[in-house]
Copies of this chain bind each other. A is one copy, B any other.
């Protein structure tokens, strides 16, 4: 992984903590809309984490892979990632 490991782990901690809070709300039968506001916040946090991982990959593995002759496979992966990221 090329992204900063401490930063990625900090974001994972935040997401896991947030999910624990959502579990508590579900167990206590809180109002659906309040739970949904929290799940949307978690989704945004995961998208931010993805953005960080993608940025690390683009700055690290992509130029390295192309320089070392694996360009075609690296580019094919980027096409797949783009489509996965957009649920396409």
A residues contacting B by CB (< 8 A) are: 1-3, 5, 8-9, 12, 15-16, 19, 22-23, 25-27, 29-33, 35-37, 39-40, 42-44, 46-51, 53-63, 66-67, 71, 75, 77-79, 81-88
Instruction: Let me know if A82 and B84 touch, CB within 8 A.
Output: no
Q: Name which residue of chain B comes closest to A41, CB basis.
A: B84
| Bound CA span A87–B67, Å | 31
Cα A44 to Cα B30 with chains together (Å)? 23
Instruction: Tell whether, in the assembled complex, residue B39 and residue A53 are in contact, meaning their CB atoms are under 8 Å apart.
Output: yes
Bound CA span A53–B61, Å:
22
Which residues from chain B contact A35 at a C-beta distance below 8 Å?
A: 1, 53
Q: Can you list 9 residue pairs at the A/B interface with Cβ under 8 Å?
A: A32-B60, A33-B57, A33-B77, A33-B81, A37-B84, A43-B46, A51-B88, A58-B78, A62-B78
